[in-house]
A = this chain, B = another copy of it.
């Protein structure tokens, strides 16, 4: 019996058994992407977004960024920060992008390929609140932050850390990146993200990952080991930190995911075509800065276009519009041969049916749109305002199911099981057949959460809902957590650096 088979036989209800899950592995999206618009329409959006860059321009709130663009042929406005980027310059920069690259983790087993046939799942990032069933919703804090990192390390289907799953507001912003990035290295050995909130924070992150992976500068340039998400300040604006982040991370050959915050009807046009046109223009502006900084720097097309509720202005997620935008964004990314990033989103306030259907619709768009990276894949609630422990493990179940959905189905004589049909007999049962007995342990996906007991048994057990199963599971995973091994010498070097920088006060803030 294989190790996996042994795990599968255990009831997840039995507290003494370890949580059974799929092994860490690449999830290959073997299906073709679904296209929502024609190739001609893709080209139309491409050309329209170039027109936007040339004629409307992008506000670049960074002298360094404006200088870089103007030196390479863009035109600065005379009375402000707007830069008009000619289409020829963009087209030149599109020639140097790389369709795929690696993202290296402290544990090489957890290295990832970006932009191939794989789809990668990352944690929720940047939620200001955490929540669980026991203590409700609270302001983000270090304790919850660390527990999300532990869950990330525990759950194989969560491939990397997309940012701080929850913002530890109890750690001062001047040193938060130092504290948090050390935790990323110590509590997990998966790849992680660095926020672009000023050059010094980028440089601190680079130093930390160099220590964690014991790299010199040359190795860092060869092995992208950090991602940074750059959210343009839509419409058509990149603030100073964002521009600096693109430049600093590209200079070090680390991965930039440029994701415009194009909520249709609010920060982007009320039409999907308009919103994606603007998204595309903003992505291409960032791409131009990245490729001018370092041709070939790893760059990802981020698609986050959704809509707002036009009655209230509230952001909506996992909507039909969100799904269609994911399909079109994927098409635009493929037009450029860029890796494509999407998300697992919802706008629900609790882990109810709405949270589930909006999430699965988001994932449907992400998978049919052939995302290479799915951020916020586990734990996101409330339009990103809360990281939920229960949602985190429920999402892990959804992601595992998608991983299994994408597995090939072997078709051959043995799988046809005609002899088993003879053995079962007309109107008979297959459980006792040899064919079943040889395969039943590993035949089907075993969910983490789904309650398949009959109504009476379920009722007698107190009619638990998904939320309650998820609550139990996340606590079991934390109870089972063991930190990944870390060479004491590396740990010492890491502590020396982080403690010194904390002692220096980290990064100056104005509060």
Which residues of the other chain, B, contact A351 by a CB distance below 8 angstroms? Answer: 353
* Cβ A269 vs Cβ B420 within 8 A: yes
Q: Which of chain A's residues 75-121 have a Cβ closer than 8 Å to chain B?
A: 82
A215 at the B interface (CB under 8 A): no
Interface centre among A360, A408, A463 (most CB of B within 10 A): A360
Contacting residues of chain A (317-360) with chain B, CB-CB under 8 angstroms: 319-321, 323-324, 328, 347-360
A37 close to chain B: CB less than 8 A: yes
Q: A56: CB under 8 A from chain B?
A: yes
Min C-beta distance of A500 to chain B, whole Å: 38
Q: Looking at A51, A394, A415, which has the most chain B CB atoms within 10 Å of its CB?
A: A415
The complex places the Cα of A51 from the Cα of B421 at a distance, in Å, of: 12
| A489: Cβ under 8 A from any B Cβ | no
Residues of B within 8 A of A314 (CB): 452-454
Docked-complex contact B59 and A445, CB < 8 angstroms: no
A479 contacts chain B at the CB level, 8 A cutoff: no
How far apart are the CA atoms of A435 and B404 in the complex, in Å?
A: 44
On whether the beta carbons of B352 and A352 are closer than 8 Å, the reply is: yes
Contact A449 B354 (CB under 8 A): yes
A37 touches B411 (CB 8 A): yes
Note all chain B residues with C-beta closer than 8 A to A137: 455
A467 adjacent to chain B (CB < 8 Å): yes
Q: Which residues of B contact A411 (CB under 8 A)?
A: 37, 41, 44-45, 273
Task: For A324, list chain B residues within 8 Å (CB).
Answer: 405, 407, 409
Q: Which of A172-180, A260-268, A503-511 touches B?
A: A260-268
What chain B residues lie within 8 Å of A141 (beta carbons)? none
Of A66-74, A186-194, A206-214, A305-313, which binds chain B? Answer: A305-313
A401 CA to B322 CA, complexed, in Å = 11
Tell me if A435 and B269 are in contact (CB < 8 A). Answer: yes
Using a CB-CB cutoff of 8 Å, which residues 418-440 of chain A contact chain B?
418, 420-422, 424-431, 433, 435-436, 439-440
Q: Give chain B residues whose Cβ lies under 8 Å from the Cβ of A454.
A: 314
Q: Are B466 and A417 in contact (CB under 8 A)?
A: no
Query: Judging by beta carbons under 8 Å apart, are A418 and B52 in contact?
Result: yes
Q: Which residues of B contact A270 (CB under 8 A)?
A: 417, 420, 430, 435-436, 439-440, 443
Tell me the complex Cα distance, A386–B456, Å: 13
Partner among B272, B350, B407 whose Cβ is within 8 Å of the Cβ of A409: B272
Cβ of A288 within 8 Å of any chain B Cβ, yes or no, is no
Contacts of A409 in B (CB 8 A): 36-37, 272-273, 324, 328
The interface-forming segment of A230-238, A248-256, A372-380 is: A230-238
Contacts of A51 in B (CB 8 A): 418
- Which of A235, A321, A409, A449 is the most central at the interface, judged by chain B CB atoms within 10 Å of its CB? A409
Question: B273–A56 contact, CB under 8 A?
Answer: no
- Cβ–Cβ < 8 Å partners of A398 in chain B: 357
Pair B356/A360 contact, Cβ less than 8 Å: yes
CA distance A447 to B352 in the complex (A): 16
A-B contact pairs, 12 of them (CB 8 A): A235-B424, A269-B421, A273-B411, A309-B452, A312-B453, A314-B453, A320-B407, A349-B455, A349-B463, A353-B353, A361-B405, A385-B455
**A contacts, CB < 8 Å to B:** 9, 11, 31-32, 34, 36-37, 41, 44-45, 48, 51-52, 55-59, 82, 137, 233, 235-237, 264-274, 277-278, 307-316, 319-321, 323-324, 328, 347-361, 364, 368, 382, 385-386, 394, 398, 401-402, 404-405, 407-413, 415-418, 420-422, 424-431, 433, 435-436, 439-441, 443-447, 449-455, 458-459, 463, 465-467
